[in-house]
Amino acid sequence: MASGFLNRFAGRAAAAPRTAEPASGIERVADRLRILDEAERAGIAWLWATDAAGKLIYLSDRALAALGKDIADLVDQPFDRLFQVDENADYTSRSLSFQLKGRTRIHDQTVRFAHGVPANASCQTWWSINGLPQFDEAGEFQGFRGNASDITVDYERQIADSRMADFDSLTGLANRHNLDRLLDRTLAAYRSAGRSCALLMLDLDKFKHVNDTLGHQAGDNLLQQVADRLLAVVGERGTVGRLGGDEFQIVVPDEDDRGTLGELAEKIINLLSQPFPIEDKRAVIGTSVGIAVAPFDGAEREDLVRSADLALYAAKHGGRGQFRFYSADLKNEEEERQELLDDLRDALQDDTLDLHYQPVVCVDTSRVVCLEALMRWEHPERGFVSPGVFIPVAEESDLINLLGEWALRRACGAALAWPRSVRVAVNVSPVQFANPGFVTVVANALAHSGLPPERLELELVESVFMGDSEAAERTFAALKGLGVRLALDDFGTGFSSLSYLRAAPFDKIKVDKSFVDSCTQSDRNSAKIIAAIIGLSNALNMETTVEGVEAFDQLEVVCERGAKLIQGFIYSRPLPEAEVNARIASGKFLIKPDGPETYRPDRRSVFRRIGVIHEDYYYNAVMRDISRIGAGVEGIVGLEPGTPLVLDLGEGQLIVCTVKRVNGAAFGVEFESSLVNDGAGGLCTRHRVSPYTIAAAGLPARPGTAGPTEGKRNESKPRFMEVAVGASAQAGSAQAD
The model's confidence at residue 2, banded by pLDDT at 50, 70 and 90, is very low
Looking at the predicted structure, is the pLDDT value of residue 701 above 60?
yes
**pLDDT score of 501 more than 80:** no
- What does the pLDDT average to over 333-346? 82
CA torsion, points 225, 231, 232, 237, in degrees to nearest 10?
170
Q: What is the pLDDT of residue 155?
A: 86
Determine the average pLDDT of the residues in 373-394: 84
> For residue 89, what pLDDT is reported?
57
The helix (run of H) or strand (run of E) holding residue 566 is: strand 565-567
Please give the C-alpha separations between residue 730 and each of 623, 647, 735, 736, in angstroms, as whole numbers.
10, 20, 9, 10
Residue 574: φ, ψ to 5°: -60, 135
d(CA 140, CA 73): 28
Q: What is the pLDDT of residues 530-562, one digit of tens each?
A: 999 899 889 888 999 999 999 899 999 999 999
Interstrand relation of 126-135 and 106-113 (parallel, antiparallel or unpaired): antiparallel
- With a CB cutoff of 8 Å and minimum separation 6, the contacts of 396 are 317, 337, 341
Contact, 355 vs 374, CB < 8 A? yes
List beta partners, residue 661: 668
Domains of the chain, earliest start first: 45-158 (3.30.450.20), 167-331 (3.30.70.270), 334-585 (3.20.20.450), 604-736 (2.40.10.220)
Whether the CB-CB separation of 347 and 377 falls below 8 Å is answered with: yes
Q: What are phi and psi of 88, to 5 degrees?
A: -95, 5
In the predicted structure, residue 187 carries a pLDDT above the cut 80: yes
How much is the pLDDT for 3?
Answer: 46
Mean predicted confidence (pLDDT) in 196-207: 91
In angstroms, the CA 204 to CA 316 distance is: 10
Contact 727, 609 (CB under 8 A): no
| 726/618: higher pLDDT | 618
**What whole-number distance in Å separates Cα of residue 173 and Cα of residue 26?**
61
CB 565 within 8 Å of CB 545:
yes
Is-cis flag, bond preceding 295, omega within 30? yes
Q: Which residue has the higher pLDDT, 371 or 45?
A: 371
Instruction: Compute the distance between CA of residue 187 and CA of residue 191 in angstroms, rounded to an integer.
Output: 6
Q: Mapped to the 3 state alphabet, what secondary structure does 491-549 carry?
A: ECCCCCCHHHHHHCCCCEEEECHHHHHCCCCCCCCHHHHHHHHHHHHHHCCCEEEEECC
- Output the 3-class SS for 426-488: EECCHHHHHCCCHHHHHHHHHHHHCCCHHHEEEEECHHHHCCCHHHHHHHHHHHHHHCCEEEE
Of 276-290, 315-329, 617-631, where does mean pLDDT reach its minimum? 315-329
CA distance 470 to 473: 5
Quick check: 197 pLDDT over 90? Answer: yes
What average pLDDT does this structure show over 649-662? 93
Most confident of 19-28, 160-169, 463-472: 160-169
Percent of the chain with pLDDT over 90: 48
pTM of the predicted structure, to 2 decimals:
0.56
Who wins on pLDDT, 646 or 689?
A: 646
Instruction: Find out whether 307 and 246 touch, Cβ atoms under 8 Å.
Output: no
**Stretch 200-220: mean pLDDT:** 84
* Residues whose CB is less than 8 angstroms from the CB of residue 524 and which lie 6 or more positions away in sequence, other chains included: 518
> Which of 350, 431, 388, 340 is CA-nearest to residue 441?
431
What's residue 33's pLDDT?
66
DSSP 325-391: E--GGGTTHHHHHHHHHHHHHHHHHTT-EEEEEEEEEETTT-BEEEEEEEEEEEETTTEEE-HHHHH
> DSSP assignment of 98-163, as one string?
HHHHHT--EEEEEEEE-TT--TT-S---EEEEEEEEEE-TT--EEEEEEEEEE-HHHHHHHHHHHH
